Amino acid sequence: MDDFVEQRDQIAAILARHHASKPRVLAVMSTAGVSPARSLIEMLVEFEDGGKDPLNWGWLQIDLTLLFGCQVDIFTEETLPEPRREAMLQQARPLF
């Protein structure tokens, strides 16, 4: 999570540009031998009015992927898989 703190301003600017807020990390996964150490980040956000447009959602994912240098998957509470939704919400860690 320390890496995310260092990029707080950049993350906040990207989220604002895409009408998203309340970023929470669901998971950070890495693959042995793959650089960077992170190979996948799963992030939970809330979209403001107009933010759920599929193109906006996609550009948010691309911008965060470019920032972190690894794949970023974006979820909202509504898109989390139902059988594990509550557990995932409890495990989600706010970025700031």
Confidence of residue 51 (pLDDT cuts 50, 70, 90): confident
d(CA 4, CA 35): 17
Confidence at residue 53, expressed as pLDDT on a 0 to 100 scale: 87
Mean pLDDT of the chain: 89
Whether residue 36 is predicted with pLDDT greater than 60 in this model: the reply is no
Query: 54-83 as b/e, with b when 16 or more CB fall inside 10 Å?
Result: eebbeebbebbbeebebebebbeeeebeee
How many Cα atoms are found within 13 Å in the side-chain-facing hemisphere of 52? Answer: 9
Closest CA to 71 of 80, 59, 62, 60: 62
Confidence at residue 49, expressed as pLDDT on a 0 to 100 scale: 81
Provide the terminal-to-terminal Cα distance of the chain, rounded to the nearest Å: 10
2-94: CATH topology is Beta Polymerase; domain 2 (3.30.460)
Write down the domain spans for the chain: 2-94
